[in-house]
């Protein structure tokens, strides 16, 4: 209905540009993944010759077999899953609880609590003081440094509070008349009604913690038992980047077999780390646009 009667030359040029741009974008976005996948399924020494694009030349599952049976990688995967699940479950629950409390307009400490949380988005203690604090709290060389500091993030808190504010207040009032305690109201009424927003922040949290390697590097790098998948991948990357002897040593530790090359390890690790994201991608898609618009509400 909006189309002009006659297509002018600029109209046709525009279409050519739009579709060329979008198809180029699709190729540029997908190719690195597909190429890495092909390399991960190709014999390691053969890959060095180059020329592998979308399909393996000498097909093998050896790279996957050797990495997935490597005890260090296996353990790191366990740590990654543990930190992601724990932080997502507890973080989401606790964020929802505090969000409910500060959504109550009659609560005397509402403004104070909101303020001290929002301020943390702008003022931070910095690398060194935070490091010393964690050291003093016994959180260095400790699994819980992955979980505790990130349980309640100000940004997520505000998103959930904004959502709860939009729920009808009469629900809380009538539950109170029925004699429900604050905690029951939160658990039985607010939590079920906030499912969409809680799913959104749960997904944000899960993706963030699955991707994290920086806290491993800073606080737990001396203890291999606390390493995560992303950190293992980061170490392989760093060794490829600097090519120093000690790094190569670390590399041969993470995959003992001689016929597995650094390139093959990198490719295979990359795919192993990316697969969980691809699996939950349909959920990610559904909730994150929603979350983005919710975040916009507070501006």
Please state, in angstroms and rounded to a whole number, the distance separating the CA atoms of residues 30 and 8. 34
DSSP 222-268: T-GGG--HHHHHHHHHHHHHH--HHHHHHHHHH---TT--HHHHHHH
Compute the Cα dihedral for 90, 101, 160, 299 and give only its sign.
Answer: negative
| Position among 68, 85, 289, 297 found at the interface with another protein (CB under 8 A) | 289
| Position among 131, 143, 162, 248 found at the interface with another protein (CB under 8 A) | 131
Please state, in angstroms and rounded to a whole number, the distance separating the CA atoms of residues 294 and 49. 50
Name which of residues 71 to 110 contact another protein (CB under 8 A). 94, 97-98, 101-102, 104, 106-109
* Closer residue to another protein (CB): 106 or 178: 106
Site stretch for another protein (CB under 8 A), options 85-93, 115-123, 188-196, 247-255: 115-123
Please state, in angstroms and rounded to a whole number, the distance separating the CA atoms of residues 153 and 95. 8
| Position among 124, 174, 223, 253 found at the interface with another protein (CB under 8 A) | 124
The torsion angle over the Cα atoms of residues 157, 277, 219 and 143, rounded to 10 degrees, is 80
Give me the 186-205 binding string for another protein, x by CB under 8 A, dash otherwise. Answer: x-------------------
Write the DSSP symbol of residue 145. G
Output the smallest distance, CB 278 to another protein, in A.
8
**Residue 55 contacts another protein per CB under 8 A:** no
Name which of residues 158 to 187 contact another protein (CB under 8 A). 173, 181-183, 186
| Position among 68, 89, 277, 297 found at the interface with another protein (CB under 8 A) | 277
Please state, in angstroms and rounded to a whole number, the distance separating the CA atoms of residues 206 and 77. 14
Output the smallest distance, CB 267 to another protein, in A.
7
């Amino acid at each position: 209905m909006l189309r002009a009667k006659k297509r002018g030359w600029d109209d046709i040029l525009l279409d050519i540009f739009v579709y060329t741009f979008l198809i180029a974008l699709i190729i540029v976005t997908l190719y690195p993944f597909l190429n890495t996948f092909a390399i991960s399924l190709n014999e390691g020494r053969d890959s060095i010759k180059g020329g592998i694009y979308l399909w393996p030349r000498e097909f093998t599952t050896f790279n996957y077999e050797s990495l997935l049976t490597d005890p260090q990688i296996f353990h790191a995967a366990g740590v990654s899953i543990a930190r992601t699940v724990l932080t997502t479950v507890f973080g989401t629950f606790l964020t929802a609880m505090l969000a409910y409390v500060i959504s109550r307009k009659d609560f005397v400490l509402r403004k104070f609590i909101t303020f001290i949380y929002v301020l943390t988005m702008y003022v931070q203690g910095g690398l060194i003081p935070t490091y010393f604090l964690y050291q003093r709290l016994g959180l260095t060389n400790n699994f819980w440094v992955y979980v505790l500091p990130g349980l309640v993030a100000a940004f997520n808190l505000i998103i959930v509070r904004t959502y709860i504010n939009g729920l009808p207040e009469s629900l809380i009032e009538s539950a109170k008349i029925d004699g429900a305690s604050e905690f029951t109201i939160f658990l039985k009424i607010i939590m079920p009604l906030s499912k969409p927003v809680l799913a959104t922040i749960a997904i944000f949290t899960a993706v963030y913690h699955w991707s994290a390697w920086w806290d491993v590097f800073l606080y737990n790098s001396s203890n291999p038992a606390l390493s995560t998948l992303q950190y293992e991948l980061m170490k392989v990357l760093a060794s490829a980047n600097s090519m120093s002897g000690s790094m190569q040593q670390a590399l041969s530790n993470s995959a003992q077999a001689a016929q597995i090359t650094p390139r093959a390890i990198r490719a295979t690790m990359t795919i192993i780390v990316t697969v969980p994201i691809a699996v939950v991608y349909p959920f990610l898609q559904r909730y994150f646009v929603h979350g983005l618009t919710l975040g916009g509400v507070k501006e």
